[in-house]
Chains A and B, each alone.
Chain A
């Protein structure tokens, strides 16, 4: 295994607070919510796992050294994903999960007009999104949402997209003048926190 300090990007002499901060920053960075629907979700999860392991390892090492100290409980990457299995497009979902977009699209395109439910539109959007065709994906998600406004899954996908579309990375703001330096780090943090709250509620599970 690689050096846990390297994984967190801190020096072995760093204080506990510094390590905690580094851990929190990374955990936020690789949080599954940031990569929901992304074709790279599994890689982000992998990173998250590494970070969690490194943090645990450092904590264990330090506790042994000190003999005392409170255990820093780590948030393990929760069980995300796990969508409805009783779906008529089960095979499509499996294909998408394995990044086999061509196969998924083939099944979808062979679906007769009459069977094109909200889920069909949602999955078409998913395929488009994986390909990087953001606009098409957006339209499909919207159709799915309109057909079945109560579905949490579709709503989450569209919320996710809207977040990205209005996302102001680096505090860059289109409405105000850049001269003042845009908004501060605090603003980003609060925005992130709000976003996270919303996402959690939206999932409702």
Chain B
């Protein structure tokens, strides 16, 4: 369930796009520093979103540095400079969640993929330990989420809400931690809950056809409707609508345009392409 939290490049200002890239590269660099060169490969858009939100909430971004990309020495890039541990936190979240995702894959994927997962798992296992030492709360929240998710999937619950709850709750808890006062905590909780719910449900919608064939758990399989696509679309719309309502109450200054772009164009466009197979407005694959 990675990579859904995207921007829509065509609607961004150039300077906003540059800033987004700089956060992406900054996070990549931090992952190399905190873990290893290889850990950088697990970088996702979702974690970039998380890092950017952390930086924005803490007002930690203090400018941009120039540098070169480690993967492509010919490419010059800029890095968003951050005063606090936003990057480290996001990097920890990234390796921890990838580790648990691997565990999950080990249970229900095909032979070759399993082989591959076995191969890379020890690395992530090591990094996860390192991350958990520094951010024990993050690790316990993700672990809790995986446990609850397994219980829901094996418990035979037919409720869509119950299935989406663990992921939503996890993100709600993770973001609520950043609230500086009671009101902000509440807003972040609601925002996190609805975004988490959206991520879980869009991932489920993405896997719908495959799960239908293979008989794997999918919350949408329990729903009886004549027009599946519209139902899924409405359900997802509502998550985004509530997330956006909550977001508007936050006092966001840094990266505001980028967040608006994501909530208003990036996520919906992703949603369209998943549900209706519509051509996404092209983003460059790699930044």
Chain A residues in contact with chain B, CB under 8 A?
29-30, 34-35, 38-40, 43-44, 46-47, 128, 132-136, 161, 164-170, 172, 174, 177-179
In the assembled complex, which residues on chain A have CB atoms less than 8 Å from the CB atom of B264?
Answer: 169-170, 172
How far, in whole Å, are A178 and B276 apart by their CA atoms in the complex? 12
Chain B residues in contact with chain A, CB under 8 A?
159-162, 165, 168, 172, 183, 186-187, 190, 193-194, 197, 233-235, 237-242, 244-246, 248-249, 263-265, 268-269, 272, 275-276, 278-279, 281
With contacts A132-B242, A174-B276, A178-B278 known, what are 11 further pairs, Cβ within 8 A? A29-B248, A40-B186, A40-B187, A40-B190, A132-B190, A134-B242, A164-B237, A165-B237, A165-B238, A169-B240, A169-B264
Given the contacts A38-B242, A164-B241, A165-B238, A136 and B249 also touching, CB distance less than 8 Å: no
In the assembled complex, which residues on chain A have CB atoms less than 8 Å from the CB atom of B160?
Answer: 135
Q: Is the CB of B194 within 8 A of A166?
A: no
A13 to chain B: closest CB distance in Å?
20
List 14 A-B residue pairs with CB atoms under 8 Å apart, sorted by A's residue number. A39-B190, A40-B246, A40-B249, A43-B249, A47-B249, A132-B161, A132-B168, A132-B172, A132-B190, A133-B161, A134-B239, A164-B237, A167-B241, A178-B278
Chain A facing B: main interface SS: helix
Q: Is the CB of A161 within 8 A of B238?
A: yes
How far, in whole Å, are A30 and B249 apart by their CA atoms in the complex? 8
How far, in whole Å, are A40 and B191 apart by their CA atoms in the complex? 10
Instruction: Name the residue among A34, A135, A172 with the largest chain B CB count within 10 angstroms.
Output: A135
B84 to chain A: closest CB distance in Å?
24
How far, in whole Å, are A54 and B281 apart by their CA atoms in the complex? 40
